[in-house]
Structure 1
Amino acid sequence: MVPSSAPGSEPASGAPAIRRRAPRGGRRVPRRAAVDRRSFAPSLHRLEELAQSGAQVSVHVAELDSGCVVLSGDDHVPLPIAGLGVVPVLVEAAAGFESRTLDPLRIVDRPDDSLVTRAGLWRHLRAPALPLIDLAVLAAAAGDPNAANVLLDAVGHDQVRARMVSLGMPRSAVLDRFRDRRGPDDAPHVAVGTTREFARLFAALVDSKAVDAAVSAQVAEWLSLNHDLSLVASATGLDPFEHDNDAHRLLFVNKTGRDRGVRAEAGVLVGPRAGVAYALTVCFDDLSISHRLRAHDAFRVLGTDLMEYTH
């Protein structure tokens, strides 16, 4: 992966380009601070290394106020995103609750005949049934696959697909439910998405433009409970179990996706200097723990760069 930050620079043959663009407009800052905030050199270096090792990398970072894209690379390419695909399902559920076409207190049984046993909290709980609104919390906060499957069944796959198109996400899709094993008749992935579309979705959520203000606020509230702060979010220093009211003027909302050889994260980070919407997906050969740690390191370096940009 070759950075394209100088005029006239061209990516090497076969390598996707990562572009770093200087922000325009907004608050004036001291020259040194402005220069520091514009530098994503560590992220560019890590992402380039991953791409050259054979990983598929897609990234998109944009300022919230201006919409200016400050970092991008293959952000139009749909890639597997695993649990990140639950976000449009949450949007559709919140829209159903708001319009009263879906009862948030409707009790739904746990699907023991198709239970996902490799992950999640609901499978460990004694309660065999929960209301839909509590399942939304489980899906957002703990990435619970069984809760997400029940929500998807409740709102309808076709409705989620239509909602994603209306949200400006035609290249992203929820393909299937979560499964322990995928057979030849199953979709190869639970969801695919582009980093451009998911970053814009998170920007719309915090800007109260995802469906409407009430739906945006509800989904953002659910996602603010997310416990997985181990990738990009690790740079924030936030408490994984209480990070919606930070003492250091930090607003953060995110969702991650994990599968074999897939790591994805999208979110919004707002600090005292700036706010950004971001998304990063890395698909890699998970041949050893070192391969996995290299992928994780790229997320953490991006998180550090985003913290410097917003602070």
Structure 2
Amino acid sequence: MMTFDDITAAADRIAARVLRTPVKHSAALDSALGCQVMLKCENLQKSGAFKFRGACNALLQLAPEQRQQGVVTVSSGNHGAALAAAGQLLGVQVTVGVATNASPLKRDNMLKYGAKLHAIEPGMAAREQFLAEQARQSAIIIPPYDHLDIMAGQGTAALELCEDYPDLWAVVTPLGGGGLLSGSCVVAKRFGARCFGIEPELASDGKQSLQHGSIQPAMPAKSRCDGLLTSLGALPFDIIQRQVSDILLVSEQQVDAAQQLVWSCTDMWIEPSSATTVAALQRYPEIFAERKVGVIVSGGNVAAPAKKD
């Protein structure tokens, strides 16, 4: 089980390499949502997403001979780019199994940081098969979320947020594999805050897992929230089951509207996966109205629309 001490140790370990990202507050956004919203801008993190935190924490704990061997992972984009960026800093070659339908922008981002890409079919079955083949060849696997070092690293975003704003009523994060949410749950509990995970309705296996008490398979990849199209990891789920306040669902239309709202209020064009959190604040006023809420803006690796004159 990952502990709060693991997260503070990760924060110390990665401090010299990651950005302590800013927290943005917009009066216009508060007015639109009916609550006070503190946006933890991980879209401004190195490699464009919070994933750089966990990647650094995991690679920094490899032995020198392991770093020379290189590591392997699977990713829709952000984890692969983060691991490759951390690998560039630490002299570790990163190989990524990436689905053929992955975002071209995210694919280019991984290549920019020197990742070696292996095309695989979309879906969890292809991911698992690729990693099993790599494991048989004695590869060092650094999965996107089901890994204690990754989880502890991701939790440092919530740690910074709660250190800056210890009076938050809740911390809200997107939910994909659960690395970010599990780390955030541990931090929020220490600061006396609630913690909510947000999923698209078209990728609601996390909510279903919570209801069933066991991990449910990922749904077909129909949501625009490409960073969340995966099933929960066993290690994150163990923590989420115990500590999450709830998992809330939002529609694709609500995500689109939230993306536009953040753009109009802050000039930040964030990923659909990130916009799920703002969509939830708008959809569930009975939960969040007049509260002070910390939101992890998980990533910004998406092409921004042209500004209107």
TM, length-normalised to structure 2: 0.27
TM, length-normalised to structure 1: 0.26
